[in-house]
Amino acid sequence: MSRKPPKGYFVRGQFVPEGSDLDLLLQAERGLDEPSKTDLKRESEELQKLGEALLTLPAPLMDKLALPEKLVDALDQLRRITNFEGRRRQSQYVGKLMRALDEESRQAVRDAVQEQHSGSAQQTLALHAAERWRDDLVAGDEALAQWIEQHPDTDVQQLRALIRQARKDRQATADEVSKGQPPRHGRAFRDIFQLVKEQLNDDDDAE
């Protein structure tokens, strides 16, 4: 059975196996600033993922980056490709184009992607807050008093009417569930969520 030849390279006619003492010595002589194959691969993968993340950016953020036309076209093609192998190859090409950017442009891309992710996280938290308030308002009157205290600009009459209707719908739903039917929420339940979400957004904008 043939043995695989050891990995390495030649220096002045001498074979240097990878990982050997001589290999490490030669690497040290070349200087620590010279990137290794592992470093280059890691950078390539990072830039490829960063390029793919550009697909999540809205148009205003993309326009602010002023990316090269070739990169923008490559991203448009990547967005349209559905075949797995085709997307993989196109992603590698996008990563290659990302590597051609200067460090300032790369950092601008990182900042834009981070800004987008932060905004998405804040939106998720806001939706969860609206859901909690809706559930608490339908569950009991104590939450309504707290809501009015914290949000005095709310149309209280409208909110009370929605809560009463949502509680009626909840009771009807409970009866249906007891008969083996799937649970469902009425329009009032959804309208409370919308009212609460809009009020929370208005309060945030006013701050």
CA max distance for the chain: 90
**Residue closest to 145 by CA, chosen among 131, 159, 161, 164:** 159
Cα(93)–Cα(73) distance, integer angstroms: 11
pLDDT digits (tens, 9 = 90+) for 99-149: 888 888 888 888 888 877 776 667 777 788 888 999 999 988 889 999 998
Q: What are phi and psi of 16, to 5 degrees?
A: -115, 110
Indicate the pTM of the whole model: 0.43
Q: What is the pLDDT of residue 30?
A: 61
**Residue closest to 134 by CA, chosen among 124, 122, 144:** 144
Q: What is the pLDDT of residue 157?
A: 92
| Average pLDDT score over residue span 59-84 | 86
Report for 59-68, 106-115, 146-155: range of highest mean pLDDT: 146-155
- Residue spans of the domains in the chain: they are 41-101, 125-206
Q: What is the pLDDT of residue 169?
A: 83
**CATH of segment(s) 125-206:** 1.10.60.30
Query: Which architecture characterizes domain 41-101 according to CATH?
Result: Orthogonal Bundle (1.10)
